[in-house]
Amino acid sequence: MTEEAPAELVATLRDAAVKIRREIIRMTYAAGSGHPGGSLSVTDLVTALLFHELRYDPQRPDWPDRDRLVMSKGHAAPAFYAALAIRGILPPEELLTLRKLGSRLQGHVDRNKLPWVEASTGCLGQGIGMAVGMALDARLAKRPSRVYAVLGDGECQSGWTWEALMAGGHYRLGNLVAILDRNGIETDGPTESIMGIEPIADKFRAFRYHTLEIDGHDFPAILRALAEARTVTDKPTAIVARTVKGKGVSFMEGQHSWHGKAPSAAEAEKALRELGDPRGVPSR
């Protein structure tokens, strides 16, 4: 049994997550494109990782012994960029360059543009394969690095996702944690009506993963799962995080139409009011 996270830490993470959600709305509105739904659903998971769990040096993105965060669901780039800015790693004003020509902030995370990106991803299933390779490399090199891969549930319909996961289980990579943002919705609708992936937790277990199921918006639960994963050394861990697409914005929650659509000015204004952002809509 892992200890409960301190109330002060949980409050800090919740505050950061609200700020990140505000920036996701502002960024996607300013860009006129992007993926707000899945960025909002994964926000709390990314917050827990970047603000608490990962061992890394913001000033040395190439530190060999750092932990790695691989955004296998690369389209959730706005959540990752916003977290870096709120964490003080990126200039906040750079967020409004999302998807613009010459920007470091591509629509899908791009390692060639931004040094804190561990792997360029976008084609679903790409990231978990690279994460498995990183974890195996760290073990062979006897580095203390841990590798965290954040997957979308739509990419769990892809065969090469399971090839990579099978390798992680086969090699018993105790330094690998696969985190599934299980919001249940992809571009065209519910995952279970398009190509069902349930029982997903049982599938991870069958692939030799220590598997946990949590509420992906409950910070104490997220922190407990991450702490438990650190105690498992003889196999990889999978965390199935049940989340809500568009979490935090009432009219986006649970709606597949917000998978890859930017809000209008009026919609962004309403979303920012709900998130308590006094700045209002940015200019395009």
- Rounded to whole angstroms, the Cα distance separating 275 from 270 reads 9
> What confidence score (pLDDT) does residue 284 get?
82
Predicted pLDDT of residue 125: 85
pLDDT of residue 123: 84
CA distance 168 to 217: 26
**Structure tokens that stand for 179 in this block:** 């985190």
Tokens of 92: 């906040």
Tallying the residues shown for the chain, one arrives at 284
Tell me the pTM: 0.97
What tokens were used for 153?
Answer: 């549930």
If you compute the radius of gyration of the chain from its CA atoms, what whole number of angstroms results?
18
* Predicted pLDDT at 4: 85
Q: Give the model confidence (pLDDT) of 162-208 as tens digits.
A: 999 999 999 999 999 999 999 999 999 999 999 999 999 999 999 99
pLDDT score, position 1: 56
The pLDDT, as a whole number, for residue 41 is: 98
Q: Strand order in 147-152's β-sheet?
A: 68-71, 147-152, 176-182, 237-242, 210-215
- With a cut of 50, which residues of the chain have pLDDT below it? none
Q: Which residues contact 217 (CB under 8 A, 6 or more apart)?
A: 44, 243, 244, 247
Q: Where are the domains of the chain?
A: 7-274
Residue matched to tokens 């707000």: 36
84-to-115, 149, 188, 221, 225 alpha-carbon distances in Å: 11, 17, 30, 23, 23
Cα atoms in the 13 Å half-sphere on the side-chain side of 102: 1
Q: Residue 148, exposed/middle/buried by CB under 10 A (0-12, 13-18, 19+)?
A: buried
Distance CA 98, CA 107 (A): 7
On whether the CB atoms of residues 185 and 104 are closer than 8 A, the answer is no
Residue 101 amino acid letter:
L
Give the closest residue to 149 by CA, choosing from 164, 139, 171. 164
Question: Which CATH number is associated with domain 7-274?
Answer: 3.40.50.970
